Amino acid sequence: MARAALEEWRRRIREAVGAAAGDGGYPLEAVRRLLALGVQRIPFDPTVGGEGLGLRGFTAVLEDIAAVDGSLAAVVMGAYSAGAFLASAATPEQRRALLAPLLAGEGMYAVAVTEPEAGTDVAAIRTRCRRLPDGTWRLDGRKAFISNTGHELWRGAVVLARGPDPDRHTAFLVPADAPGFSLGPVRDTIGWSRVGVHDLVLDGVVVGDERRLGEPGKGMGLALATFDRGRVAVASLACGLCRAAWEEADAYARRRHSFGDPLVAHEAVADHVLRLWRLYNRARLVTRQAAEAADAGLPLAVWAALAKWEATDAAVEAARLGVQVMGGRGLLRGTGAAARWGDAKVLEIVEGTTEALTLVLRRRLRREGLAAAPEEEPRGAAHAGA
């Protein structure tokens, strides 16, 4: 990754985000600016039309966006997850027909896996697919809490469905205008309040086989691989939140006076600001490690889980401390401190809850041990037979 190229991208994106003021709804104008700039191309390989800066470059950019607007960063992250799914699963023909328009900024897809009765337990999804005699596929079911949907740039969703074998899953790219594909009401969430969260209803939706992603019955593996990269992206949003909380608290503690001195002169407040700085750096370092592991082609599941767990844990604490330093001002709706309070909680839930990540790491610990770094052998393997 060329540092100069990445820094130039970060500069241009910061300018674009700063120039696109939100109106309280879906950040459409800001998204259009970023798509025109080419943010969606950053992580992808040049062979498919990307900029080749990898997940390391993309997470740096996501952090910058999240430090300004958590909802906007979530939109960009969601578009990346759909693109990553396509890049990994699509045939050359599908890449030309489906991925190329996304990288050209002609719209965005969502990823639709979660259902009313299937969150962390992804294998419990009930949306079904079955192949029809003419070779097309029929999908029936309901997806829940799907972000980045229902806006002018939404073009459809990557949908994971059970079938054709009842114990297997298959993925499809369903266009937004497919007959029988509809949106539920927008969800009013405590965080990510402007990302367009809806339920999706599939009532006899028929798609051609050219919309199937990967082999029939192989969709779950594709989804899990996408989750790993998505977890690193979520960790970068947590980094941006931590940074914004630290920077705002630091500036406020220097500007605001109490008992004749700046707040930062009081040890309790100075300790809060110092803790915020520590949380940001903790989140940033573990996220960078995971992104670099992904770009190096190293096994990612453990490091993605660790990055998301540590970074989102830091974000929740940073949001709390940010409000604490701001005092009454931090309780006002519409302020950055209040918005971060809700956004931080969302980060702990999406792309695998903290409890699910604990399960992933506990299983790995018991089975083969954990490594000190992505490029090293797990301790269990190193000590096998000792």
What mean pLDDT, rounded, does the chain reach?
92
Question: What is the C-alpha separation between 179 and 336, in angstroms, rounded?
Answer: 40
Q: Which pLDDT band holds residue 1 (cuts at 50, 70, 90)? A: very low
Question: What is the C-alpha separation between 19 and 283, in angstroms, rounded?
Answer: 27
Q: Which pLDDT band holds residue 13 (cuts at 50, 70, 90)? A: confident
Q: In which residue ranges of the chain is CATH 1.10.540.10 found?
A: 3-108
Question: Any idea which architecture 109-217 has in CATH?
Answer: Beta Barrel (2.40)
Question: What is the C-alpha separation between 201 and 224, in angstroms, rounded?
Answer: 23
pLDDT above 90 for 203: yes
pLDDT above 80 for 65: yes
pLDDT above 70 for 187: yes
Environment class of 335 (CB within 10 Å of its CB; exposed 0-12, middle 13-18, buried 19+): middle
For tokens 């969150």, the residue is 119
Q: Which pLDDT band holds residue 385 (cuts at 50, 70, 90)? A: very low
If one compares 16 and 39, the residue with the highest pLDDT of the two is 39
Q: Could you read off the pLDDT of 123-180 as tens digits, one per residue?
A: 899 999 999 999 999 999 999 999 999 999 999 999 999 999 999 999 999 999 999 9
Q: In which residue ranges of the chain is CATH 2.40.110.10 found?
A: 109-217
Q: Give the pLDDT confidence score for residue 130 in this predicted structure.
A: 97
Residue 127, Ramachandran bin (φ over 0: left; ψ between -120 and 50: alpha; else beta):
beta
Q: Give the pLDDT confidence score for residue 19 in this predicted structure.
A: 60
Inter-residue contact 90 to 222 (CB < 8 Å):
no
pLDDT above 60 for 359: yes
SS3 at position 140: strand
Q: Give the pLDDT confidence score for residue 4 in this predicted structure.
A: 78
Q: Give the pLDDT confidence score for residue 10 in this predicted structure.
A: 83
Q: In which residue ranges of the chain is CATH 1.20.140.10 found?
A: 220-378
pLDDT above 90 for 15: no
Question: Any idea which architecture 3-108 has in CATH?
Answer: Orthogonal Bundle (1.10)
Q: Give the pLDDT confidence score for residue 18 in this predicted structure.
A: 67
Kindly tell me the sign of the dihedral angle through the C-alpha atoms of 81, 314, 310, 362.
Answer: negative
pLDDT above 70 for 23: no
Cα 315–Cα 294–Cα 120 angle in degrees, nearest 5: 55
- Percentage of the chain surpassing pLDDT 90? 85
pLDDT above 90 for 200: yes
pLDDT above 60 for 381: no
Q: Could you read off the pLDDT of 75-87 as tens digits, one per residue?
A: 999 999 999 999 9
pLDDT above 90 for 386: no
Question: What is the C-alpha separation between 213 and 99, in angstroms, rounded?
Answer: 12
Q: Give the pLDDT confidence score for residue 334 in this predicted structure.
A: 85
Mean pLDDT throughout 257-261? 93
pLDDT above 70 for 382: no
- Percentage of the chain surpassing pLDDT 70? 96
Environment class of 359 (CB within 10 Å of its CB; exposed 0-12, middle 13-18, buried 19+): middle
Question: Any idea which architecture 220-378 has in CATH?
Answer: Up-down Bundle (1.20)
pLDDT above 80 for 297: yes
For tokens 């109106």, the residue is 23
Q: Give the pLDDT confidence score for residue 2 in this predicted structure.
A: 60
User: What is the number of alpha carbons within 13 Å of residue 230 lying toward its C-beta?
Assistant: 27
- Give strand pairing partners of 258: 261
Two structure tokens written together for 327: 């005092």
What number of other Cβ atoms are within 10 A of residue 135's Cβ?
9
